[in-house]
Amino acid sequence: NAGVMQNPRHLVRRRGQEARLRCSPMKGHSHVYWYRQLPEEGLKFMVYLQKENIIDESGMPKERFSAEFPKEGPSILRIQQVVRGDSAAYFCASSPTSGGAASGNTIYFGEGSWLTVV
């Protein structure tokens, strides 16, 4: 009964390189969220996706960041031309298909991908 799987767990990139972070949701889950956590700070929402659809990307920087959740395979958060300020932990969370207002929509987090830009 695997939980949310993220890889890589740790990633080091030089400034200007690209970072790709992958997330496989829990079995049976079709909704994926990405959050960023800077050191000693809280969780900042980035993007919410369903299969082949971006539902809400209001927290995603307009440039250099993109996310996808294809019909087959994991969700991918892509950061192009990384800068030192991108160094953070990136968490993926997943939830099952919405059960309606009465049941809520609990999200479960993965263990995170720690990006370090040098």
Among positions 33, 34, 65, 69, the unique one binding other proteins when judged by CB under 8 A? 33
CA distance 81 to 102: 43
Helix (DSSP H) and strand (DSSP E) numbers for the chain: 0, 11
CA distance 73 to 8: 15
Binding to other proteins by residue 45, rule CB under 8 A?
yes
Among positions 26, 74, 87, 109, the unique one binding other proteins when judged by CB under 8 A? 109
CA distance 69 to 46: 14
Q: Minimal CA–CA distance to 13: which of 93, 109, 78?
A: 78
Q: Which is nearer to other proteins, 82 or 113 (CB)?
A: 113
Binding to other proteins by residue 57, rule CB under 8 A?
no
CA distance 55 to 98: 13
Q: Which is nearer to other proteins, 24 or 95 (CB)?
A: 95
Interface with other proteins by CB under 8 A: which range of 20-28, 30-38, 61-69, 76-84? Answer: 30-38
The binding site for other proteins (CB under 8 A) comprises 4, 6, 31, 33, 35, 41-45, 48, 55-56, 91, 95, 98, 101-102, 104-112
